[in-house]
């Protein structure tokens, strides 16, 4: 069974976000060993300088990189990533075990994105959309898309 991680910056503050992620986590049990790994978010001043942001990305990036299992296929979610549809994501996930991966880690940064080191560590860069979403919503959307991917691959009725 494939091990699927979402490694993300910060905690979900609102109950409805947590409930949504919990629901998809339960649904994933039949398809994958699924976990969400949260790393601490750096606190920034109200009007951070570019230097403040760079330091924040570096610190959060180190935390993220320390949580990626060795040998994991890494997908960084970032604006410059490639957009794929649901079937395309399902196909990419299906090919991982064939290519020697038993673990996949999807990375979601904080409000300011991901450090270059994290992006360089990624085998794939994905973009959900040219639009910008709050990272909390992105987590829920990724959980749903992962569940949808496994439904597509198993011939389930969820994806229409």
Residue pair 75/87 in contact (Cβ under 8 Å)? The answer is no
**Stronger pLDDT, 93 or 45, i.e. the higher one:** 93
The tokens describing 150, both together, are: 């496994």
pLDDT of 98: 96
**CATH code of the domain in which 97 resides:** 3.40.1280.10
> Could you tell me if residue 103 is inside a domain?
yes
> Could you tell me if residue 9 is inside a domain?
yes
Q: What is the mean pLDDT of the chain?
A: 96
> Could you tell me if residue 27 is inside a domain?
yes
Residue 25 phi, psi dihedral angles, 5° rounding: -60, -45
- How far apart are the two ends of the chain, measured CA to CA in Å? 25
> Could you tell me if residue 132 is inside a domain?
yes
pLDDT digits (tens, 9 = 90+) for 51-91: 999 999 999 999 999 999 999 999 999 999 999 999 999 99
The tokens describing 10, both together, are: 């910060």
pTM (2 d.p.): 0.95
17: confidence class by pLDDT, cuts 50, 70, 90: very high
Residue among 11, 18, 2 at smallest CA distance from 146:
2
Residue 159 has pLDDT above 90, yes or no: no
- Tokens 């091990």 correspond to 3
pLDDT of 143: 98
pLDDT digits (tens, 9 = 90+) for 107-156: 999 989 999 999 999 999 999 999 988 989 999 999 999 999 999 999 99
> Could you tell me if residue 159 is inside a domain?
no
> Could you tell me if residue 147 is inside a domain?
yes
> Could you tell me if residue 58 is inside a domain?
yes
State how beta strands 73-82 and 33-39 pair. unpaired
pLDDT of 160: 65
pLDDT of 132: 87
Count structural domains, the chain.
1
Residue among 144, 159, 160 at smallest CA distance from 34:
144
130 lies in which domain range? Answer: 3-154
> Could you tell me if residue 45 is inside a domain?
yes
């Amino acid at each position: 069974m494939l091990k699927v991680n979402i490694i993300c910056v910060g905690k979900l503050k609102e109950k409805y976000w947590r409930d949504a992620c919990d629901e998809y986590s339960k649904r994933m049990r039949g398809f994958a060993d699924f976990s969400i790994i949260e790393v601490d978010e750096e606190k920034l001043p109200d009007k951070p300088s570019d230097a403040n942001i760079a330091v924040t990305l570096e610190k959060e990036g180190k935390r993220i990189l320390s949580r990626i299992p060795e040998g994991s296929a890494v997908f960084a979610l970032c604006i410059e990533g490639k957009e794929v549809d649901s079937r395309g994501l399902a196909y990419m996930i299906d090919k991982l075990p064939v290519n020697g991966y038993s673990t996949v880690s999807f990375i979601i940064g904080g409000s300011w994105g991901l450090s270059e080191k994290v992006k360089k560590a990624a085998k794939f860069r994905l973009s959900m959309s040219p639009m910008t979403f709050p990272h909390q919503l992105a987590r829920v959307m990724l959980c749903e898309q992962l569940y949808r991917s496994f439904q597509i691959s198993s011939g389930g009725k969820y994806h229409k």
